[in-house]
Amino acid sequence: MPDQNDSTQPLIRLTGVSQTFRSKKGDIPAVDDVSFSVGPGEVLCLVGESGCGKTTSARAAAGLTKPTGGTVEFEGKDIWSMSKQEFTSFRKSVQYVHQDPYASLNPIRNIFKTVSTPLRKHGIAKNGRDAWEQSARLLEKVSLTPAENYLSKFPHQLSGGQRQRVAVARALSLNPRLIIADESTSMLDVSIRVGMLNMLGKLRDELGIGFLFITHDLAIAKYFGWQGKTAVMYLGRVVEFGPTPDVINHPKHPYTRALLDAVPEPDPDLTQTKKPGGGLRSSEIPSLRDLPSGCTFHPRCPLFEPGLCDGISPQLAAVSATREVSCHVVARSVAAESSSAGTAT
Ligand SMILES: Nc1ncnc2c1ncn2[C@@H]1O[C@H](COP(=O)(O)OP(=O)(O)OP(=O)(O)O)[C@@H](O)[C@H]1O
């Protein structure tokens, strides 16, 4: 059963997941052959430009859409082969916190009603008084204190940061094992963002909640996912994967380097990684309906080699014990480095 804690399995595992949307103008391969997993208390950041398939992958992980290919497992069990009861239990265990809390909170429901509805619906709160007390405790967990000051308020009476905390409190009401946070801090001011990220980090540490954290901003991945892993996505595919410090301090894929170059902030660690040549040949993102041949990044890539990169599609492959990169040129130079190291010894 998904509610039971099986520590040998990751919470969520996507294997070869693809999602093609049908449209009148043609198919849209939004996600192609994406694999990743997140365990209890772990953080995986999915990073990439708008439209690269982060939300589509996250929605597949949450069971909100059934992918057109591949499998999604929760604690080792294929979610699309689960019984109705198991699927309901899985959906409680994996909670999605949306980008825009104002859009996801019902404006005519006060905060008590917002937070207590799942408690009542799933029989977690026995009666009105219990629902009030549990809702207050949930608000305290997200540092909205004293909770009594917030329970009777409506979303429009709260700041953006406070609304986002209410959305997290509502997600916590079902004791989730995994939270999918989709750009959940992008609409907030920097100081409020940091407070929110610290609060999410506390939930990860204290409650052992796993996080799939979706962001276009590598600086946010660095802050929240430093002890976790980062997968960089481009046009529906993962192009680089590894421990966050390695990906950020030693980016290998030219797209990851370009994303780091685009981080507009005086962070000395990130600035140090900006290397000449990380700049793109083109700023234009190709259409998913008309993907470039070979490596789909080749029209923008500073390492582009005609005949190789526009001819063969690279696979995401291990370049070290912990890193995977999808790039012909990087794979070749890693292979050359290891063979010359082998010759030297
Ligand atoms: N239901 C849908 N029908 C058709 N196309 C879709 C649908 N959902 C997403 N897409 C398309 O799939 C692609 C990937 O979208 P997705 O929202 O997953 O990207 P994203 O990386 O999360 O972007 P953003 O950061 O802007 O949210 C986009 O081109 C998008 O327009």
Grouping H, G, I as helix, E, B as strand and the rest as coil, residue 240 is strand
Full-model pTM = 0.90
Residue 337, pLDDT score: 85
Q: Which residues of the chain have pLDDT under 70?
A: 1-8, 99, 101-102, 184-188, 264-278, 343-345
Residue 186, pLDDT score: 63
Q: Radius of gyration over alpha carbons of the chain, in Å?
A: 21
Residue 48, pLDDT score: 93
**Alpha carbon separation from 189 to 134, 172, 185, 196, 341 (Å, rounded):** 29, 23, 8, 10, 48
Nearest CA to ligand 1 atom 2: 21
Residues 6+ apart with CB under 8 A from 246: 322, 323
Residues 43 and 224 sit within 8 Å (Cβ to Cβ): yes
Nearest CA to ligand 1 atom 11: 30
Torsion of CA 45, 262, 295, 293, to 10 degrees: 120
List, for residues 300-319, the tens digit of each pLDDT value: 999 999 999 999 999 999 99
DSSP β-ladder status, 94-97 and 178-182: parallel
**Which of 19, 32, 55 to mutate to test ligand 1, by most ligand atoms within 8 A of the CB atom?**
55
Nearest CA to ligand 1 atom 30: 51
Residues with CB under 6 A from ligand 1: 21, 23, 28, 30, 48, 50-56, 216, 288
Residue 272, pLDDT score: 54
Residues 6+ apart with CB under 8 A from 271: none
